[in-house]
Homo-oligomer: A and B are copies of this chain.
Amino acid sequence: MKVLVVGSVGYDDVETPVGTRTSQLGGSVCYFSVAASYFTEVGLIGIVGKDFLDTDRDLLAAHDIDLSGLEVSDGKTFRWSGSYIKDINDAETVGAELNVLGDFDPKMTGLHSDVPYLFLANCDPDTQLSALDGMSDQLQLAAGDTMNHWIAEKPSPLSKLLAQLDVSVINEGEAKQLTGKSNLVDVAKAIQDLGPRDVIIKRGEYGAVWFGGDQRFIVPAYPVQNVVDPTGAGDSFAGGFMGYIGATGETDAQAFRQAVIAGSVIASFTVEGFGLDRLANLSAGEIERRFEEFAELTTFDSTHGLPLRELQLAN
């Protein structure tokens, strides 16, 4: 196993302009692990209730995802319901029931603790800290996400977590909330000052930005014409990103650029179907073709400069 992800498994009710779905498989680790599975061996740590369906377990297993860390507990699986009717790009949370997720205490066995690349998907920062503490010295890179709720309610453990992360992957709005700043460059610097060497800011329909050392990389989102359900796009992005790193074992600047593209490619599929419908059923050809489209979308001739005139200005 190259990549381990810790976070939520859940059942979602979603309402989008295209339609509604109830009790569809969701949660950050499901989107993440399926996305990463296209690139590398991935395992997940999560908790579900007795109501968790065999067909959903089979879907994850079909992606060669290690499920030995999926704990089944008495009670019901975490549930979330959200609506995209007002804004297709911004989920409105209609309701959430933590259920067994409220007692989630990740158990890191040897199989898990020796993994080189760890992603702490959005969940309680105390849980994220507990998982990180359980890793062995085999750990080469720890990345993590968070959300507005934890920024407001658990600043202290979140701060402790950020101090130990190598990579922070965070939504633009939440990055602004976390830092109290509004300018993108200031926001990234402020997060780096909290600990992570690398900061990846997710901008939804506008793509993503990576700030690392003295380098920066900005990638647009693929212009998806048929957005069906944006749920899980951010976690899919993180899964593609970490999947690339797991597959190559590279974490230099060039690898980060490619990994951000990998995440963007995979996330662009997620939104084309409800839940995991599209994400879980990708062919290699589809992924390769969209990678080429990202190149076509962003390429210009940087070898020849701009055709500047000579103006005699006072400066």
On whether the beta carbons of B217 and A314 are closer than 8 Å, the reply is no
Least distance between A243 CB and chain B CB atoms (Å): 9
Q: Mark A212-248, 1 if CB is under 8 A from B, else 0.
A: 0001111110011101000000000000000010011
Given known A183-B227, A306-B287, contact A38–B311 (CB-CB < 8 A): yes
Q: Which residues of B have CB within 8 Å of A296?
A: 215-216
On whether the beta carbons of A288 and B301 are closer than 8 Å, the reply is no
Q: Which residues of B have CB within 8 Å of A299?
A: 217, 257, 302
Q: Does A297 lie at the interface of the complex (its beta carbon under 8 Å from any beta carbon of B)?
A: yes
Given known A244-B307, A300-B258, A306-B287, contact A62–B314 (CB-CB < 8 A): yes
On whether the beta carbons of B38 and A308 are closer than 8 Å, the reply is yes
On whether the beta carbons of B207 and A184 are closer than 8 Å, the reply is no
Least distance between A184 CB and chain B CB atoms (Å): 5
Given known A307-B248, A309-B247, contact A185–B37 (CB-CB < 8 A): no
Q: Please, how many angstroms separate the alpha-carbon atoms of A206 and B218 in the complex?
A: 10
On whether the beta carbons of B306 and A39 are closer than 8 Å, the reply is yes
Q: Please, how many angstroms separate the alpha-carbon atoms of A78 and B204 in the complex?
A: 39
Least distance between A301 CB and chain B CB atoms (Å): 6
Q: Does A205 lie at the interface of the complex (its beta carbon under 8 Å from any beta carbon of B)?
A: yes
Q: Does A281 lie at the interface of the complex (its beta carbon under 8 Å from any beta carbon of B)?
A: yes
On whether the beta carbons of B40 and A309 are closer than 8 Å, the reply is yes
Residue of B nearest to A300 (CB): B257
Q: Which residues of B have CB within 8 Å of A244?
A: 306-307
Q: Please, how many angstroms separate the alpha-carbon atoms of A207 and B223 in the complex?
A: 14
Q: Which residues of B have CB within 8 Å of A206?
A: 203, 206-207
Residue of B nearest to A37 (CB): B311
Q: Does A29 lie at the interface of the complex (its beta carbon under 8 Å from any beta carbon of B)?
A: no
Give the interface size class of chain A.
35 or more
Residue of B nearest to A182 (CB): B88
Q: Please, how many angstroms separate the alpha-carbon atoms of A244 and B217 in the complex?
A: 25
Q: Please, how many angstroms separate the alpha-carbon atoms of A288 and B248 in the complex?
A: 35
On whether the beta carbons of B315 and A281 are closer than 8 Å, the reply is yes
Residue of B nearest to A315 (CB): B281
Residue of B nearest to A214 (CB): B296
Q: Does A199 lie at the interface of the complex (its beta carbon under 8 Å from any beta carbon of B)?
A: no
On whether the beta carbons of A218 and B298 are closer than 8 Å, the reply is yes
Q: Does A261 lie at the interface of the complex (its beta carbon under 8 Å from any beta carbon of B)?
A: yes
Least distance between A60 CB and chain B CB atoms (Å): 12
Q: Please, how many angstroms separate the alpha-carbon atoms of A247 and B311 in the complex?
A: 14
Interface residues of A (CB under 8 A from B): 37-40, 62-64, 88, 182-186, 203, 205-207, 209, 215-220, 223-225, 227, 244, 247-248, 254, 257-258, 260-262, 265, 280-284, 287-288, 291-292, 294-302, 305-315
Can you list 5 pairs linking A and B with CB atoms under 8 Å apart?
A62-B314, A88-B182, A183-B224, A184-B205, A203-B206
